[in-house]
Amino acid sequence: MSAAVEGGCIEPKLNLNGSSALESRAVDFHLRLHLHHQLAEKAMLENEANPTLSKSTGLPRKRFYRARAHSNPLSDSHFPVPTSPCHVNLSLHFPQFCSSSDQIDSSKKIQFADIGCGFGGLLISLSTLFPDTLMIGMELRDKVTEYVKERILALRLANPGQYQNISVVRTNSMKYIPNFFEKGQLSKMFFLFPDPHFKEKNHRRRVISSHLLDEYAYALGVDGIIYTITDVEELGDWMKACLESHPMFEAITEEELEADPVVKLLSSATEESQKVARNGGQTFQAVYRRIMPAT
């Protein structure tokens, strides 16, 4: 109940004259929120026992994990951050892959990182596609992280032996990538539908920038792949331009894109991409490979 009440604090802002993509997304968000409130009240009367889990599927229900659409990446963080990559406790995230006893034997490492994983749609699709690869979602909004955590736990419970290779962590990946990953540890990084930050003064809050690409190039091994997609053309151009001008990334050829099963997931697996598809929106993707810089 309290979660629903808290959600109600966000005033529904119906500005239908809004022209930018962000505003239309915000309107969409608020309209749906409003609808959800009406539905939630009904549901509440019917389902008094554990209301955050769906009765039929056992999965957490998103409406109880509603959060702001945005979070300020510049503010000081108050969540724990591992001092260095060797302080990341893998046995906590992947109990079936890494028991606490063989923590020293660090043969198993996280290889995929979904930066700003949102509600975790991509991770869940990737989990079954690469069942032996450890992957982690990184998300700044605590309620959303909580939802993904519950979702993964519920999926593990419902499908024994599956979904053991995915996990989520609440962190600010713009600040703390080096605290989680060693040099060259990752083979894939995902940036799906990131916050567009339209205002020029907020461009430095964008998760793809030429300076941050230095850090992503550090965390990615040579031949690692960075996947980006957005429904905002301006941001798509920006991300492409950043990657194109960076000496440690090169564009992936059309044939390779065709052959890569992951590329198809970009525009279908996440909650955000499904929404874009539902509204018949366009998407702009940029997929680049980490290369050795020319010396």
Partner 1 sequence: MEETLTEEGETNKDIEVAPALIAVHPTQKSVAVAVGSDLRVFDFQGVSAVSLVDDTSGPFHKDSIRAIRYSADGNLFVSAGDDKVVKIWSTDSWCCICTVPSEKRVSAVALSNDSLYVCFADKFGVVWVVDLDGFDGNQMLVNKKAAPLLAHYCSIITSLEFSPDGRFVISADRDFKIRVTVFPKKPLDGAHEIQSFCLGHTEFVSCLDFVFTSDFPQGFLVSGSGDSTVRLWDISSGSLLDTCEVGAKAELLESNGKEEECNLAVTDLCTFPDGTLIAVAAQSLQGIVLLSCDLSTRTLSITRVVSIMGEAFIPTSLGMSSSARLLWMVTGVSNLHGFVNPPLVRVRIISGFEKSSPGDPTILEDNEILGGDKLLEKLQGSVSVEEKVFLAAAEAVKTAMSNLLVKKQYSTEKREFRKRTRNDRKTKQ
Which residue among 124, 242, 248, 265 contacts partner 1 (CB under 8 A)?
A: 248
- Per CB under 8 A, the segment of 106-114, 134-142, 158-166, 173-181 that binds partner 1 is 173-181
Residue 53 annotated in ligand binding:
no
Angle of the 210-219 helix axis to the 173-180 helix axis, nearest 10:
20
Q: Which residue has the tokens 């907020």?
A: 202
What are 67's two structure tokens?
A: 């959060």
Per CB under 8 A, which region of 54-62, 67-75, 140-148, 224-232 contacts partner 1?
A: 67-75
Residues in region 276-295 near partner 1 by CB under 8 A? 293
Looking only at Cα atoms, what is the longest distance across the chain?
A: 67
Judge contact between 125 and 198, C-beta under 8 A.
no
In whole angstroms, give the CA distance from residue 181 to residue 88: 9
User: Quick check: 178 binds partner 1 (CB under 8 A)?
Assistant: yes
**Residue 139 is assigned to a ligand binding site:** yes
Between 40 and 217, name the residue whose CB sits nearer to partner 1: 217
The DSSP annotation for 157-224 comes to HHSTTSSTTEEEEE--HHHHHHHH--TT-EEEEEEES-----SGGGGGG-S--HHHHHHHHHHEEEEE
φ/ψ (deg, to 5) at 227: -110, 125
- 258 labelled binding-site residue: no
96 touching partner 1, by CB under 8 A: no
Q: 226: closest CA among 235, 218, 217, 234?
A: 217
| By the rule CB under 8 A, 244 interacts with partner 1 | no
Confirm or reject binding of residue 23 to partner 1 (CB under 8 A).
no
Active site residues: 195
Candidate residues 83, 200, 254, 255; the one interacting with partner 1 per rule CB under 8 A:
83
172 is in an annotated binding site: yes
Region binding partner 1 by CB under 8 A among candidate stretches 116-124, 161-169, 176-184, 265-273: 176-184
DSSP label of 275: H
Q: Does 12 bind partner 1 (CB under 8 A)?
A: no
Which of 50, 57, 72, 253 is close enough to bind partner 1 by CB under 8 A? Answer: 72
In angstroms, what is the minimal distance from the CB of 115 to partner 1?
13
d(CA 164, CA 93) in angstroms, rounded, equals: 9
Cβ nearer to partner 1, comparing 44 with 241? 241
Q: Which is nearer to partner 1, 83 or 101 (CB)?
A: 83
User: Based on the number of CB atoms within 10 Å of its own CB, is 215 exposed (0-12), middle (13-18) or buried (19 or more)?
Assistant: middle
Identify the DSSP state of 108: -
Q: Interface residues with partner 1 (CB under 8 A)?
A: 11, 72-78, 83-85, 174-175, 178-179, 183, 204, 210-215, 217-218, 246-248, 293
Cite the annotated binding site by residue number. Answer: 116, 139-140, 172-173, 192, 270-272
Q: Would you list which residues are annotated within the binding site for S-adenosyl-L-methionine? A: 116, 139-140, 172-173, 192, 270-272
